[in-house]
């Protein structure tokens, strides 16, 4: 049995940086970690890659030979990987019992309505991998109510489509102050509280006020499901990394295993909801005190 994370999210959300940082963090905790690159558009890897999809198929070659654009070529690559899943199984068979980070493509439709990536994840489960999907979203979307609603809908769609235990992360939280001021405290965005207050911010915009009824229905859908919330993350900060890891370990079941002596310590942290609240508050105060 192997545990791991499939790291998904839109382009520029920091998936590759997250994989590198999480590998260093887990290594410091004593876990044996490898990274698998499943993104054929990821040509420059800042980490040592145990398995690379470029050994199977190249995005550039697909674009050239089939005369496809980058989006169409990416979908072709994922369908090709699904068709040749035996290659992936053989490669992963060399890393049994290790913790695996899967660095996935950034094309968002792969996680919202296309089926190849979902089918690949289901194959991994059949191969006895215990996985959690870590969905990264750039925190600067919080500064724009319309974009944040879109992020919520996209995150919900990905959760329903991927069908894995899911952890949503607001990445680059330390850079949020460089964009604009938040209309509400950070916990409003991380906990996805009553969205009617966010709609009131849109009513001041002439363009979005024309779609008030549509925006209201979208927010109602998100609230009715009640699935989406976020964990703030600064990749270089150990506290925020621990918050994410704690949630991931609960989601994929790692804390209930016995792979290492450090499990008990991590489990105690995961079991303490009081510490969860305190740590989240400390993170908010640490990085947003200047703008709040």
- H or E element in which residue 103 lies: strand 99-103
Q: What is the pLDDT of residue 273?
A: 44
Tens of pLDDT, residue by residue over 33-50, are 999 999 999 888 898 999
CATH number for the domain harbouring residue 69? 3.40.50.300
- Return the bridge partners of 231, or none: 169
For residue 231, give the nearest of 137, 163, 157, 90 by alpha carbon.
Answer: 137
pLDDT value at 204 more than 90? no
Domain that holds residue 284: 2-288
Query: What total of structural domains would you count in the chain?
Result: 1
Q: Which residues does 42 contact at the CB level (< 8 Å), separation at least 6? A: 16, 103, 105
CA pair distance 30, 261, nearest whole angstrom: 9
Tens of pLDDT, residue by residue over 121-179, are 999 999 999 999 999 999 988 888 888 999 999 999 999 999 999 999 999 988 887 77
Interval 176-190 mean pLDDT: 83
pTM of the full predicted structure? Answer: 0.86
């Amino acid at each position: 049995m192997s545990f791991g994370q499939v790291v998904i999210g839109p382009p520029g959300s920091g998936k590759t940086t997250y994989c590198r940082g999480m590998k260093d963090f887990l290594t410091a905790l004593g876990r044996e970690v490898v990274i698998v690159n499943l993104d054929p558009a990821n040509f420059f890897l800042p980490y040592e890659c145990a398995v690379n999809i470029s050994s199977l198929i190249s995005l550039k070659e697909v674009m050239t030979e089939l005369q496809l654009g980058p989006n169409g070529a990416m979908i072709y690559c994922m369908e090709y990987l699904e068709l040749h899943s035996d290659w992936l199984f053989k490669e992963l068979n060399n890393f049994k019992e290790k913790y695996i980070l899967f660095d996935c493509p950034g094309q968002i439709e792969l996680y919202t309505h296309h089926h190849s990536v979902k089918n690949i994840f289901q194959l991994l489960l059949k191969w006895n991998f215990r996985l959690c999907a870590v969905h990264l979203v750039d925190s600067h979307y919080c500064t724009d109510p319309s974009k944040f609603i879109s992020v919520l809908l996209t995150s919900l769609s990905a959760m329903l489509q991927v069908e894995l235990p899911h952890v949503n992360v607001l990445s680059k939280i330390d850079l949020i102050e460089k964009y604009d001021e938040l209309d509400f405290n950070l916990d409003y965005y991380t906990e996805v509280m009553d969205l009617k207050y966010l709609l009131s911010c849109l009513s001041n915009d002439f363009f979005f006020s024309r779609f008030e009824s549509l925006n209201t229905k979208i927010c109602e859908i998100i609230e009715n499901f009640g699935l989406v919330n976020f964990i703030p993350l600064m990749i270089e900060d150990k506290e925020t990394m621990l918050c994410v890891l704690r949630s991931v370990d609960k989601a994929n079941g790692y804390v209930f295993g016995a792979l290492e002596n450090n499990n008990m310590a991590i489990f105690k942290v995961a079991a303490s909801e009081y510490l969860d609240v305190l740590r989240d508050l400390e993170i908010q105060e640490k990085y947003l005190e200047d703008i709040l």
